Structure 1
Amino acid sequence: MAILAAALTWRLVGTASEGADAAPVSTVEEAAPQSFEEMRELAEQAGGDPVPWQRLGFAHFSANMYPEAAEAYEEAVERAPDSADLWSALGEARIYADESDPMPPAALEAFRRSVALDPGNPRARYFLAVQRDLSGDNDGAIADWLALLADTPPGAPWETDLIRTISQVGQREEIDLQPRIEQAMATRDILPASATGGIPGPTQDQMAAAAGMSPGQQQDMAEDMVSRLAARLEGDPANVDGWIMLMRSYQTLGRTGQARDAYAHALEANPQAEGQLRAAAEALGL
């Protein structure tokens, strides 16, 4: 029997790898009105701003009001069609809104739109693997989930549930996946999975070498990579993707103050990319 799509719930509006969307998407941490009616009224008055609709969708989803959440997210993506975060949130809401189909076509379409905008979007990647599992491609689903785990920053909010999902599928299929889980966790990047704009990232050889290092040696390797990234950006301050990578790297290392400083420098150097940088900062909790 295929694993239920509800096994892992991404009740997050933004994640560490979802910060590069074009739309200025919020993490819904600001003070909200007291009622859904007030939230909807504000959203309707917001014109082309997707954020109030996103907040309404998140609030409905958190209250298990899934059809209403899907409706609000549909309004949000209409205003911000380039937001991978919003498309993946819409896809999840559509799943929970449909009690008869574990992967409604409309949800699948939303996830595909999300990864077309951001191939690394964790929520969309997870549910697309669910679809493979539902279709009978269990090996493909397992491979996709393990690849997602390899790209997951240590301590990410979804890490524990993702590991649990992989383990449950292994038990169902009578496959010992623990060695593959450990391998994915041992070789994953401390930096984001994609290294764009010539920003240095770990090569396959470096990842293999890191697997045999002590925790202290792995930490030193990560610190060196982040230092080189910061130095590269001093000479290339217009590299927005590089700044987002540096912000995420500092945050992953627990250096929130430096992550915020990197955000400030990025804004100063790239005022035209304020929306993209703000979305990344909010997704990282800065």
Structure 2
Amino acid sequence: MTEADSRSTGTAPAPAGAASGRAGKVVLGFAAAVALAAGGVAAFRKPHEDVALVQPQPPAPTESQTPSVDDVIAKLEKRLAENPEDAEGWRMLGWSYFQTERYAEAATALRKATKLDPEHAETFSFLGEALVLASNKEGRIPPDARAAFDKALKLDPKDARARYFKAVAMDLAGNHRRAINAWFALLADTPADAPYAEDIRKVIRDVADKYKIDVEKRLAEAQFAAPAGGMATDGAKLAAGAIPGPTSTEMRAAAGLPKGQQEAMINGMVDGLEAKLKARPENPEGWIMLMRSRMQLGQPARAAQALQDGLAALRNDQENARRLREAASSLGVAGA
């Protein structure tokens, strides 16, 4: 992660927009997005990492080996030289340039796509992000990027990327509470199993921490939209609910112990729960309890491992795997 402004306290990816029927298959997630939150500019996800912005899918390779992005760019440039009225081709070229961090060229290609297809919201929000990344104006969103985000929201008021950056603009203008409220509104429309749900929570925390705004209660109570794959589950509710505590005998025993021994006893109980889950892993409530316990003990890496172990155990149980992801996202566990 490169930091372009030392004033920034933290970063979080900007979400991809909702799928559009006219766009064909849309990959949900983030790629090389920008957070200017808390008064700075910072690039935080490189294009080659994991997920992609709203993007058309490149043509399927005809050879046994998948072509590189440079190969795709060369083919698209040739295709567009022959047919410059191909809006989908310009979108694909913009995405490909974006993948190689050629943001100015990505913006040029995406601008052509918006002229050929002026009703496609995701292309405008993607253009806005490319313009932000291509800009040398640190700590602000360029006017042409703002215009692109405004156009995206006019076409689709739910466009997640444009909403994210509009909140960033509020934060940069000094309206920190308003920005946080906008991110909370975006979070409420974010599917619980979306890969960027925790990223929105992170930017809320980062800005709140910088400006001494208490958001922990709101984050704990934040509701999610239905998961992308179906109806919402009770995962977040379970994560926020009471975890069965020790028996009265165990509590009396713990009360008489020095602080260090109390902590050792609590850790021993959580380790015991983990051992039980390894023996009988098909227990979603148990995995949720373990994740929450690890987070409360200040062991986020072990909570993330519990999530992965639980998902592996529930890989053939889609509904309970979704509950686990929803709970993990609510708790702020990495990898949710």
Q: Same fold (TM over 0.5)?
A: yes
Q: How does 1:112-191 map to 2 (within 5 A)?
A: 112-184=150-222, 187-190=223-226
Decide whether the 8 Å contact of 2:122 with 2:159 is kept in 1.
Answer: yes
User: Equivalents in 1 of 2:82, 2:146: separation in Å?
Assistant: 30
Query: What is the CA-CA distance between 1:108 and the residue it aligns to?
Result: 0.2
Does the CA contact (< 8 Å) of 1:18 and 1:120 recur in 2? no
Distance 1:7 1:125 in 2: 16
Distance 1:3 1:45, change over 3 A: farther
Q: 2:57 aligns with which of 29, 42, 53?
A: 29
How many residues matched? 197
* Cα distance change, pair 142–3 in 1 and its aligned pair in 2 (3 A): farther
Matched, 1:46 2:89: no
Deviations 1:98-118 (CA, angstroms, capped at 9, x unpaired): 012430000000000001000
Q: What does residue 7 of structure 1 align with?
A: 11
Q: Is the 8 A contact 2:193 2:227 kept in 1?
A: no
Kept in 2: contact 1:2–1:133 (CA 8 A)? no
Alpha-carbon distance in structure 1 between the residues aligned to 2:166 and 2:105: 23
Q: Is the 8 Å Cα contact of residues 124 and 151 (structure 2) preserved in structure 1? A: yes
Structure with bigger helix share is 1
Higher relative contact order (CA 8 A, sep 6+): 1
Contact 2:110–2:123 (CA<8 Å) still a contact in 1? yes
The 5 A counterparts of 1:87-126 are 87-101=124-138, 102-126=140-164
Tell me, yes or no, if the aligned pair for 2:14 and 2:165 is still in contact at 8 Å. no
Tell me, yes or no, if the aligned pair for 2:194 and 2:227 is still in contact at 8 Å.
no
Q: Are residues 161 and 191 of structure 1, via their aligned partners in 2, closer, same or farther at CA, if it must alter by over 3 Å?
A: closer
Higher-Rg member (1/2): 2
Task: Give the stretch that moved more between structures: 136-145 or 38-47.
Answer: 38-47
Deviation at 1:55, TM superposition (A): 1.2
Q: Give the partner amino acid of 1:122.
A: A
Query: CA offset at residue 183 of structure 1?
Result: 1.8
- Shift in Å, 1:24: 5.0
1:28 Cα deviation from its structure 2 partner: 3.7
Question: Whole-Å Cα distance in 1 between the matches of residues 318 and 92 of structure 2?
Answer: 28
> 1:63 — aligned with what?
100
2:123 alignment counterpart:
86
Mark the runs of 5 or more structure 1 residues left unpaired by the alignment: 193-201, 216-252, 256-286
- Amino acid corresponding to residue 104 of structure 2 in structure 1: P
The superposition leaves residues 169-212 of structure 1 with CA deviations (integer Å, 9 ceiling, x where unpaired) of 0111112212112222xx233178xxxxxxxxx9xxxx9xx799
Matches within 5 A, 1:228-247: none
Shift of 1:2: 11
Gaps of 5+ in 2: 27-54, 62-66, 240-316, 320-336
